[in-house]
A and B are shown apart, each in its own frame.
Chain A
Amino acid sequence: MKILNVLVRIETLKTVKRRAFWVAVGVFAAINTSVAVDNVRTARRFPDFSHALPESWPRVLSGLTSPAGFFIAVLIILLVAPEFSWRTGRQNVIDGLSKERLYAGKVMLLAGLVALFVATVLLIGIGGILFSPSEGGPEIIRSTDFSYLAGLTLNLLFFGSAGLMLATLIRSAGPAMGVLFLYFLVEGAIVGLIERAGETATRITEYFPVNISDDLGDDLALYPEVLASVNADRAERGLAPLEFLDVEVLVAAVLAYSTIFLLISFLSMRRRDL
């Protein structure tokens, strides 16, 4: 218990003193604020546009979709990789932390950042709704909203653990971010190529890391009634219906990827010299 307290203290101190952290959180909060303000304005201008809970949960939680994951991956790289290039992680171990504890501190940092991002989105999103003229329903939150929030939180952990893996493997912030950007491009290109090969091959691409994480972050995968309405609209226009893997499968796959990323970064930290 004492060591957890120590890890929280040192990781907090290292993080809050870092300008990059405040810039990233500030930009993230600003983006969410502008979306919230836009929603309230629209609700005031157009009475048909309902911006109230629980209907607006997907809109509130949209702040946690892909860009947030990308933000968190970049932030984790910026906060973790310099521990190697500045050799401060090495000094932490010399001062008495084991490599395993140093790593545990980084996982706690990841968990803390995810909690901070979720709290920021909830605070700004719900805060915006307080200024909206729309009338809400009898309940504030539904079970599907909880599921969506949990899925998006899991998604942030997925991106953060990918960032942690790149930071501990590459040990330099610039190249690690480069690989992250590159991966997005490469996966997109590979998916494009495979999709030309036919439907069976396309099914495989659904399990690719970024694809599966995108699906888990898509409100259509979590809200069946919204999906049904979208598909009805698509049917009217002669388009094929949208399909998603079961939520359980999406959760299991994202969890599996996150575990693999964390395991790789743990082994790298443990086996390599500092």
Chain B
Amino acid sequence: MPIIETRELTKRYGTRPEKSVLAVDRVSFAVEEGQVFGFLGPNGSGKTTTIGMLVGIINPTGGSFRLFGASDAKGLLAARSRVGATLETPNFYPYMRGRDNLRVAAAIKGVGRSRIEECLELVGLADRARHRFSTYSLGMKQRLALAATMLSDPELIILDEPANGLDPQGMREIREIIRILAGRGKTIFLSSHLLWEVERTCTHVAIVRRGRIVAQGTVDEVVSEGTSALLRAEDEDALAAALEDCPEVTSVRRTDDGIIVGLRGGDLAGVNGYLVGKGIHLSYLAPHRQSLEEVFIDLTRGDFESMTEIAS
């Protein structure tokens, strides 16, 4: 039984068709027990809205989902007691001490005081727990949010951009905590922009763009879906121009190392034959394993291009 299962989950903001915004568009995925599931997408792609529906703060407008097999209101409320989650920025009472904030969360989760101290120790906040939340740095706030998430020793941990705004040291600390949790067999649902981190930490990923899932599977599956090749030639301008019209090629990207092309069928010989026909002789042609970041950028290219257009 999947821990999370969504079917055609949809969220539309606004009721008037001409003014409404489709934030999540028929999203379906499943997260099995023990997976570290990366949920990736550019800003505004619907990641947080999807998570918001799972944790009960946003009402879906279509589709359905199950948490630990439960889909009715009563079952979901019980299932959510097995979930630890934090969304976007850490949300705590600024006038209360770190420890008191955890006392509120612990009371809701039905957890004793000793567990509060354990979690504070785990995230390295035991020394600052008597200080007000408003005096915490962003890194400390993120760590307090992680502590709150772990209070009930949940089976499923949902983290939305846990490394947002952190310095490299803070990111490393968060990554270590995630690794410790994954090592304990927790199911982790991680939304993040840090693709290199996700590639190293996650077992499975789903990439979401404009509210729709555009790729999902194990990290290897998603990366290998984007079969690509690295090409070099003496005249790279001519090579790039010829590749634009090549039927085997899905994308062309110039790099310092040469030209990386996405391939429709993985047919390198076909590409070489096409280029010879155009009078271009390659000095280098080899399969190229894309990183998750490259796959992500390829799949969400439109969003990035529009951003660069605005910037320029």
Digitize A99-128: 1 where CB-to-B-CB distance is under 8 Å, 0 elsewhere.
Answer: 100000000000000000000000000000
Residue of B nearest to A5 (CB): B107
> Which chain B residues lie closer than 8 Å to A240 at the CB level?
none
- Most-contacted residue by chain B among A13, A17, A18, A94 (CB, 10 A): A94
Interface residues of B (CB under 8 A from A): 52, 55-59, 73, 77, 80-81, 85-87, 89, 91-96, 100, 103-105, 107-110, 148, 152
* Given A10-B108, A91-B86, A95-B109; 6 other pairs, CB 8 A cutoff: A6-B110, A17-B96, A86-B91, A91-B91, A92-B108, A94-B57
Q: Which residues of A (57-93) have their CB < 8 Å from a CB of B?
A: 86-88, 90-93
Q: How far is B154's CA from A209's CA once the two chains are assembled, in angstroms? A: 48
Which chain A positions have C-beta within 8 A of B91? 86-88, 90-91
- For B57, what are the chain A residues with a Cβ–Cβ distance below 8 Å? 90, 93-94, 99, 273-274
Q: Known: A88-B92, A96-B81. Contact between A9 and B107, CB under 8 A?
A: yes
- With A17-B96, A88-B93, A98-B77 already in contact, the answer to whether A93 and B103 are too (CB < 8 A) is no
**CB proximity of A12 to chain B, nearest CB, Å:** 10
3 nearest A-B pairs in the assembled complex, by CB-CB distance: A87-B91, A274-B57, A91-B91
Q: Please report the C-alpha to C-alpha distance between residue A94 and residue B85 in the assembled complex, in whole angstroms.
A: 6
23 inter-chain pairs at a CB distance below 8 angstroms, sorted by A residue, are A14-B93, A14-B104, A17-B100, A18-B95, A86-B94, A88-B92, A90-B57, A90-B91, A91-B86, A91-B87, A91-B105, A92-B108, A93-B57, A94-B86, A94-B87, A95-B105, A95-B109, A96-B81, A96-B109, A97-B108, A271-B59, A273-B59, A274-B57
When distances are taken between beta carbons in the complex, the residues of chain B under 8 Å from A45 are: none
Chain A residues closer than 8 Å to B58, beta-carbon distance = 273-274
Q: Is A196 an interface residue (CB 8 A)?
A: no
> Which residues of the other chain, B, contact A92 by a CB distance below 8 angstroms?
104, 108
**Cα distance A9–B80 in the bound complex, in angstroms:** 20
Contact A96 B80, beta carbon cutoff 8 Å: yes
Chain A residues with a Cβ under 8 A of chain B: 6, 9-10, 13-14, 17-19, 86-88, 90-99, 271, 273-274
Q: Given A10-B107, A17-B95, A88-B91, does the pair A94, B55 have CB atoms closer than 8 Å?
A: yes
B104 CB → nearest A CB, Å? 5
Q: What is the chain A residue whose CB lies nearest that of B97?
A: A17
Complex alpha-carbon distance, A259 and B81, angstroms: 32
Known: A86-B91, A90-B91, A94-B55. A13 touches B109 (CB 8 A): no
In angstroms, Cα B219 to Cα A257, docked, is 58
Knowing A90-B91, A273-B52, A274-B58, the reply to whether A13 touches B108 (Cβ < 8 A) is no
For the complex formed, measure the closest distance between the CB of B214 and the CB atoms of chain A, giving whole angstroms. Answer: 25
Picked from A17, A96, A99, A274, the residue with its CB within 8 Å of the CB of B108 is A96
Cβ of A9: which chain B residues have Cβ within 8 Å of it?
Answer: 107
Query: Are B56 and A94 in touch, CB under 8 angstroms?
Result: yes
Which residues in B have their C-beta under 8 angstroms from that of A87?
Answer: 89, 91
Which residues on the A side are within 8 Å of B89 (C-beta)? 87
When distances are taken between beta carbons in the complex, the residues of chain B under 8 Å from A99 are: 56-57
Among B56, B110, B152, max chain A CB count under 10 A is at: B56
Q: Are B104 and A98 in contact (CB under 8 A)?
A: no
User: Which residues of A have CB within 8 Å of B92?
Assistant: 86, 88, 91
Q: How far is the CA of A94 from the CA of B109 in the complex (A)?
A: 10
Tell me whether A13 and B104 are in contact (CB under 8 A): yes
Chain B residue with the shortest CB-CB distance to A97: B108
Task: Evaluate contact between A93 and B56: CB separation under 8 angstroms.
Answer: yes
Within 8 Å CB of A94, what residues of B? 55-57, 80, 85-87
Chain A residues near B94: list those with CB within 8 A.
86
List residues of chain B with CB within 8 A of the CB of A6: 107-108, 110
CB-CB < 8 A to B148: which residues of A?
Answer: 91, 95
Q: In the bound complex, what is the Cα–Cα distance between A91 and B108 (angstroms)? A: 11
Question: Nearest-CB distance from B86 to chain A (Å)?
Answer: 7
Supposing A93-B57, A95-B105, A95-B109 touch, asked if A13 and B100 sit within 8 A by C-beta, the answer is: yes
Please tell me if the beta carbons of A13 and B107 are within 8 angstroms of each other in the complex.
yes
Question: Which residues from B are CB-within-8-Å of A96?
Answer: 77, 80-81, 108-109, 152
Residue from B89, B100, B104, B109 with most neighbouring chain A CB atoms (10 Å): B104
Question: In the assembly, what is the distance between CA of A13 and CA of B96, in Å?
Answer: 9
Q: Residue of A at shortest CB range from B49?
A: A273
Query: CA of A273 to CA of B57 in the docked complex: distance in angstroms?
Result: 6
How far does the Cβ of A21 sit from chain B's closest Cβ, in whole Å? 10
User: What CA separation (Å) do A6 and B103 show in the bound complex?
Assistant: 11
The closest CB in chain A to the CB of B53 belongs to A273
In-complex Cβ contact of B93 among A86, A90, A97 (8 A):
A86
